[in-house]
Structure 1
Amino acid sequence: MKATLRKLLGLVLLIAISPFVNAQDAPLGPLTSVTEFTIKPGHTMQFREGIKAWKECYLKDGGEWTWRMWERQQGEGTVYILATNMPNWAEMDKTDEKGKDCQLLALNLINPHVETATNHITRFMPEISNTNAFGANLIRVSFFKLNQTNGYKMMEVVKEVEGIRKSAGLPIRGYWYNWQTGDPNSPNYHVVTGYKNYAEMDVMQDSVWKSVEDASGKKTRDELQAKFRSSIESTWSYIYKMDEEISHLGNN
């Protein structure tokens, strides 16, 4: 999210450097700013109407910034995720003059309905991700928090697994992200898998580990799976659906 809008919404950022940011041995992907809004109970409609009013004002002023707003489908409370891509860190130095006239709308129509808001930065990892342009409106996001002892092993396994699958002619399904900032409860990585609709989730596919076993044998599968599990402190997942009315994808 652009710095200007963060100021308009009055967000308090919780930023600390992640201990598992890898040394760069592959081309850098773009950054994504991810802001999680927990909405006050019973205030979802007012929050959405506030965002729509701000969006209308911003676009009327000629604003060009684009974003996706995702609603979490499971878990406690009502949670929205605002995600926007940035080519690099220098984007954070820029200001968006187009949104200044809409400041009061944010202060009066959005902020009162937000219980908490946190912002973090992630980086896309193209070398181990699906190469197709992302366009799904329904996604499953799996998060991985690494342990201090073996956390470094996780990406070793992911890269080897995707190499095995690629050699076997199998597609890479997910879009991987490395968290560049994080608080004590943040994950270190997450992977996004897109779906056309909920019905597509019913389509049975072999698991990643089954595909590794088929391609390289049970011994390799067991070794990689044990190494992967030894690196993880915790893992969890949610499904998110994009709210198109309060998103802005530009002309794409």
Structure 2
Amino acid sequence: MDGPRVENYAIQGVTPGGLERTMDLGVRDGSLRNLNPATIAVSATAADRLGVRPGDRLRLTLGDGTPISPTVIAVYERGLGFGDLTVSHDLLAAHVDDPRGVVLIAGTPPAGLPTTDAASLAETTAATNAEVNQVAMALIIAFTAIAVVNTLAMSTSDRAREFALLRLVGTTRRQVLRMLGWETPAIVAVAAVLGTAIALATLTAFSAGMTGGAPHVPPLGHLGVLAWGALLAAVATVLPARLAMAARPADTINTRE
């Protein structure tokens, strides 16, 4: 390390005995067998940022202000799920308000200890996270849909005099709508390509920085988003165009904007 730096990392305290049976951190380098109050395991993301590897000493300050300098014994991949730093429970227990936290037991738990099985815990956690994600995604989609529809509707309505001129020179209303029917897919195609490229570039950079890998994009989900976008574009173009051509062309062409 070039020098001390101030960064915040999530830390967990675990009991070394039977650790490999209670959780799988995805160890990439080193081993967790020698985890004790003088050692520490670090996530791959934190290891890259801090510039450490197994065998290095890592100077840290715990939440209560206590400085420690444990030796790195392992680097693991699953830091997003388990936290960036893993130390012995004995080390962390003396520096937190409630050292009990969540207890993972390999075997039969003691009598009277409230427990939950792994499947139920995973299902509850997944359901809670899914609900939060769905609400956030629904708000984003609703805001985006309103913006898209409003923009297309206004731009189509602003072309009322153009439509009136086309009708005055002999173009029928159906032909004008057919013209818009060719314009809309072209606009959707350009928007889909640009939107996908921008989103992919942003997500790839974020995913590479957080996980070291590329993001997962479900093909059907992506196609569904494009289909909804195309439908919104069609509705936001055809309906305003019909309203714009409802009046007589001569009256519309003489209207000042």
**Greater relative contact order (Cα < 8 A, sep 6+):** 1
Going by fraction, where is strand more abundant, 1 or 2? 1
**How does the TM-score come out when normalised to structure 1?**
0.21
Going by fraction, where is helix more abundant, 1 or 2? 2
**How does the TM-score come out when normalised to structure 2?**
0.20
Structure of greater Rg: 2
